[in-house]
């Protein structure tokens, strides 16, 4: 990603800073709500990164990495909610 260092630095920096800034207040929410809000945030950031890649702000391979990251984190959050009994799985 070094070749992208000089192109659109502020746009990329803004996307990278806004996500954690919006996520920090979720530490004050009850766990179940926090996980749900963070899940929605991760999926939202996936779509934002997808758009940024389309605009050429990131290399194409980044979306493969981002998809895997979003899938693993989202699955962990959903499994946590299921384990806590807040979301019912179909066979249960």
Average pLDDT, integer, range 58-86:
88
Write down the pTM of the prediction. Answer: 0.74
**Does residue 2 surpass a pLDDT of 60?**
no
Neighbours of 42 (CB within 10 A): 19
Neighbours of 66 (CB within 10 A): 20
Q: Say how far apart CA 79 and CA 77 lie, in whole Å.
A: 5
Confidence of residue 91 (pLDDT cuts 50, 70, 90): low
Q: Say how far apart CA 6 and CA 10 lie, in whole Å.
A: 10
């Amino acid at each position: 990603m070094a070749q992208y260092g000089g192109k659109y630095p502020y746009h990329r920096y803004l996307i990278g800073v806004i996500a954690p800034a919006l996520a920090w207040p979720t530490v004050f929410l009850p766990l179940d709500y926090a996980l749900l809000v963070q899940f929605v945030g991760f999926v939202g950031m996936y779509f934002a990164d997808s758009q940024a890649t389309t605009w050429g702000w990131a290399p194409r391979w980044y979306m493969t990495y981002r998809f895997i990251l979003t899938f693993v984190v989202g699955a962990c959050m959903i499994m946590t909610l299921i384990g806590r009994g807040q979301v019912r799985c179909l066979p249960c």
